[in-house]
């Protein structure tokens, strides 16, 4: 996905990427109004810096990067510990000790999940789902949202997030294992 | 024979691209024998469907008011 000339039509950014940025911000700050403010700040910053946009990445990824910096600043000011570990731990090491024993078998065996349709009708389910997504590390959320919520291709994900395919698999695998575990703990059990 | 850790990796990868023939065969063989990984594989589909619905859930989208407010703030830039 290379950026076409329309991509620098800043008036379209709110329309095209507003919900995406809002969702990502909301997962990390949890306060609706603050998340809205962050979307606004991100777009304002992007508009004044639009000449810096390099066509190496997509507009979406570029905007996400600006939002990520704003989130990091915010958490730094709050000396938020979680986010700091997020930062150091950006390159997901292939460590799955939370999920698998040394012989590669499950620590906590996946059971069957109840009927998805029933789950999706429950408001409570969505609260838990949101909470579980929030619990993922920044990079994992970004890749997961890009993939599962916005249907970006692997190729675009690799390019946009400067990842090689193997990193992408590791991030997605980890994100899915974490979500699965979190849903099991907070919703099923 | 694959262990569950590797099988779950392949199952996750298979959600996003077609696996090479031999990897796919190894995964299928494992799934035939392993209830836990079969459950996990089904939950990957569940997660995908949940994500799709999450996207369309109005609680996780900008409200019209917020959108308008932001549009106003951006207008003169």
ipTM of the complex: 0.89
Residue A180 has pLDDT above 80, yes or no: yes
In which residue ranges of chain A is CATH 1.10.10.10 found?
A: 116-188
Candidates B4, B17, B73; nearest CB to A104: B4
What mean pLDDT is reported for chain A?
Answer: 83
Q: Which fold has domain A116-188?
A: Arc Repressor Mutant, subunit A (1.10.10)
Q: Which of B27, B50, B61 to mutate to test the interface with A (most CBs of A within 10 A)?
A: B50
CB–CB of A86/A137 below 8 Å?
A: yes
According to the model, what pLDDT value does residue A88 have? 46
Residue A7 per-residue DSSP state: G
- Chain A, 61-90: which have a CB under 8 Å from a chain B CB? none
Strand partners, A100: A106
Q: Going by CATH, does the domain composed of A5-88 fall within 1.10.1740.10? A: yes
To the nearest 10°, the Cα dihedral for A29, A57, B59, B69?
Answer: 80
A165: nearest CA partner in chain B:
B13
Q: pLDDT tens digits for B26-71?
A: 999 999 999 999 999 999 999 999 999 988 887 888 999 999 999 9
Collect all residues with Cβ–Cβ distance below 8 Å to A19 and sequence separation of at least 6.
B60, B61, B62
Half-sphere exposure of A90 (CA within 13 A, CB side): 9
CB count within 10 Å of CB B35 equals 12
- Where does residue A21 rank: exposed (0-12), middle (13-18), buried (19+ CB within 10 A)? buried
Q: Verify whether the Cβ–Cβ distance B9 to A126 is below 8 Å.
A: no
Q: How confident is the model at residue A19 (pLDDT cuts 50, 70, 90)?
A: very high
According to the model, what pLDDT value does residue A8 have? 66
Question: Model pTM greater than 0.90?
Answer: no
Separation between Cα atoms, residue B37 and residue A96, nearest integer Å: 15
């Amino acid at each position: 996905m290379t950026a076409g000339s329309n991509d620098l039509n800043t008036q379209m950014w709110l329309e095209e990427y507003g919900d995406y940025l809002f969702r990502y911000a909301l997962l990390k700050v949890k306060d609706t109004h603050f998340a809205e403010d962050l979307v606004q700040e991100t777009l304002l910053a992007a508009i004044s810096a639009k000449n810096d946009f390099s066509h190496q990445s997509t507009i979406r990824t570029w905007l996400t990067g600006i939002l990520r910096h704003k989130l990091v600043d915010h958490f730094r000011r709050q000396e938020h510990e979680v986010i700091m570990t997020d930062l150091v731990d950006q390159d997901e090491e292939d460590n799955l000790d939370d999920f698998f024993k040394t012989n590669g078998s499950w620590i906590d065996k996946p059971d069957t999940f109840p009927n998805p349709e029933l789950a999706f009708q429950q408001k409570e389910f969505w609260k838990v789902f949101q909470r579980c997504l929030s619990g993922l590390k920044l990079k994992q959320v970004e890749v997961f949202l890009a993939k599962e919520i916005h249907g970006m291709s692997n190729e675009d994900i690799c390019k946009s997030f400067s990842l090689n395919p193997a990193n992408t698999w590791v991030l997605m695998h980890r994100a899915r294992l974490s979500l699965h575990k979190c849903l099991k703990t907070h919703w099923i059990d | 024979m694959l262990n569950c850790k590797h099988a779950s990796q392949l199952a996750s990868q298979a959600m996003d691209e077609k696996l090479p023939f031999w990897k796919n065969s190894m995964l299928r063989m494992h799934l035939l024998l392993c209830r836990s990984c079969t459950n996990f594989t089904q939950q990957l589909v569940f997660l995908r469907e949940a994500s799709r619905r999450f996207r369309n859930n109005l609680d996780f989208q900008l409200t019209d008011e917020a959108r308008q407010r932001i549009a106003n703030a951006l207008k003169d830039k």
